Amino acid sequence: MDEPTRLTPPTVVDVHFVLLDDSLILDWAGPAEALRMANQSLLAKGRPAAFALHFTGPRAETVSSVGARVSHLAPLPDLSQPQRPQWVVLVGQPGDRVELDSPAARELLHWLRGLRLTEGQVELMCICAGAVVAARAGLLARRKATTHHHHLDELRQSAPDCEVLANRVFVLDAPVFSSAGVTTGIDLTLHRIAARLGPALAAEVAQTMVVALRRGPQDPELSPFLHHRDHLHPVLHRVQDAVSQAPQEAWTVPRMADRGHTSARHLTRLFEEHAGVSPLTYLQRIRLAVAQAALQSGRNVTQAAQISGFGSDTQLRRAWHRHGQPGTPGTTHRAAAR
């Protein structure tokens, strides 16, 4: 789907990845790659880069969780009077508890306590147990947040007045954003890319990274490909990925269940419990999104019905009206052709 022409080039965001010894490398490398790819996509379209990446810490050199040594880290920046948006990214460490007793960790906590978090100016992203680091600095008071399931109790103890939410991919409570851990940091970053640059570009980055786009439960609806993905159930994600990647195939509930290695009855129960819709309703919404994209790219109604998996123009029109799409497939095609 083409990006909306109404989007104007946003102000560049400075993104500061704050690294201590033993920082989980995927917590920061995954989101950093997503932001790099977003810049790459923008530049390929003749648009300016949107993110400036900085790797910072209380020490100029650190050793990651896998032993890779990271050197030439920038000092912790002065964010007291930012000239453009600033994102501070805190990440986790291996182990059942976050250890912050070293001189470097104490220096980081002192710096964090001096931050003035403000929506749109200085914002905080907590990946995995990075939320515990933020809590120890007093940045999660009276906020909602999540973290890796191994650290949920630790987060509650570190910030008793924080509403800790379990079983969430990520939680949005601007100017604080938190994710459940490891790969969900990529999910959160994709959401933030979509909010800033549009869902089409975020979907392009996700496709390049070969990851499934997911939504957090408080995330505004961006597209049917992101909707109904605010859960952590692997069977359901496996089925949803398969349907999203090939909506034109002859899907039935039993065939979806086979892809998820479960029964049709159990899959239906999983969809209703975790996605809030039936399997066939989910399928129709994905097909409608594909049909709409085809129509907007200039395909006629018959072609759109074929590409998206509807058996005929009539089936496409019925589904269009049943799901409350504005206008008709025909008017959408004619508007795109003008």
Rg (CA), the chain: 22
Two tokens, residue 126: 């907590």
Does residue 213 register a pLDDT over 70?
Answer: no
3-state secondary structure of 169: coil
Q: How confident is the model at residue 337 (pLDDT cuts 50, 70, 90)?
A: low
Query: What's the distance, Cα to Cα, between the start and end of the chain in Å?
Result: 17
Does residue 324 register a pLDDT over 90?
Answer: no
Q: How confident is the model at residue 296 (pLDDT cuts 50, 70, 90)?
A: confident
Determine the pLDDT at residue 223.
57
Determine the pLDDT at residue 241.
83
| Prediction pTM value | 0.66
CA 67, distance to chain mean position in Å, is 27
Asked whether the beta carbons of 190 and 197 are under 8 A apart, the reply is: no
Determine the pLDDT at residue 298.
80
**How many whole angstroms separate alpha carbon 122 and alpha carbon 60?**
23
3-state secondary structure of 60: coil
Determine the pLDDT at residue 195.
86
Percent of the chain at pLDDT above 70? 90
Per-residue pLDDT tens over the stretch 129-169: 999 999 999 999 999 999 998 999 999 999 999 999 987 88
**How many whole angstroms separate alpha carbon 78 and alpha carbon 88?**
12
Does residue 176 register a pLDDT over 90?
Answer: yes
For the chain, the domains span: 13-201, 233-338
Per-residue pLDDT tens over the stretch 55-96: 999 999 999 999 999 999 999 999 999 999 999 999 999 988
65-74, 94-103, 214-223: which has the minimum mean pLDDT?
214-223
**Residues 6 or more apart in contact with residue 125 via CB below 8 angstroms:** 31, 87, 88, 89, 90, 177, 178, 179, 185, 188, 189, 192
Q: Which of 137, 214, 179, 140 is nearest to 31 (CA)?
A: 179
Q: Any idea which fold 13-201 has?
A: Rossmann fold (3.40.50)
**How many whole angstroms separate alpha carbon 167 and alpha carbon 144?**
13
Cα angle for residues 259, 303, 283 (degrees, 5° grid): 30
pLDDT, averaged across the chain: 88
Per-residue pLDDT tens over the stretch 246-270: 889 999 999 999 999 999 999 999 9
Per-residue pLDDT tens over the stretch 229-248: 767 788 998 898 889 878 89
Does residue 225 register a pLDDT over 70?
Answer: no
In sequence order, what E strands does the chain have?
A: 13-18, 51-56, 62-63, 69-70, 86-90, 122-127, 144-145, 163-164, 170-173, 176-179
Omega cis (within 30) before 175: yes
**Which CATH code for domain 233-338?**
1.10.10.60
Asked whether the beta carbons of 89 and 15 are under 8 A apart, the reply is: yes
Q: Which residue has the higher pLDDT, 179 or 212?
A: 179
